[in-house]
Amino acid sequence: MWTLRYAIGVSNGGKEVHVDDVALAIELLLGSDGIEGQAYSCCDLYISEFDEANVAKEIANSTSLIAGTQKRPKNEIDVAKIKGLVMQFGGADRLYETVESLVKQVQLRQ
């Protein structure tokens, strides 16, 4: 029996925030007093393609090869100000849920 095996190349990454977290941040800011004229950074985490590929591989129970290395950001975005307004981002749990949903959609199409 043949097993189909893929090689996935990874090389990039980016600072990300889930759309649900953006909506939550907007709602939080609209309901906050005394913040007029201020800027708030909204960024959850840096996600490399290496992270995404490994999460998808785990969820799909795949034997695919991941070619590339883990990337890290050159600079961090300071979100302490918005977190001071009790903002909580989805973090790694939301990343896992999102990738899981995408993997399931792909599997349904096969």
Residue 2 lies in a domain: no
Could you write out the DSSP letters of every residue in 76-98? Answer: ----HHHHTTT----HHHHHHHH
Residue 78 lies in a domain: yes
Q: Which tokens hold the place of 45? A: 């985490």
Give per-residue pLDDT as tens, 27-78: 999 999 999 999 999 999 999 999 999 999 999 998 889 999 899 999 999 9
Residue 86 lies in a domain: yes
pTM: 0.80
Residue 54 lies in a domain: yes
Q: What are phi and psi of 30, to 5 degrees?
A: -65, -30
Residue 108 is predicted with a pLDDT of 86
Separation between Cα atoms, residue 42 and residue 29, nearest integer Å:
11
If pLDDT is split at 50, 70 and 90, which confidence band does 4 have?
low
Give per-residue pLDDT as tens, 79-89: 999 999 999 99
Residue 1 lies in a domain: no
Structural domain boundaries, residue 45: 7-109
Tell me the C-alpha to C-alpha distance, in Å, between residue 108 and each of 57, 95, 102, 105: 16, 20, 10, 5
Residue 1 is predicted with a pLDDT of 46
Domain total for the chain? 1
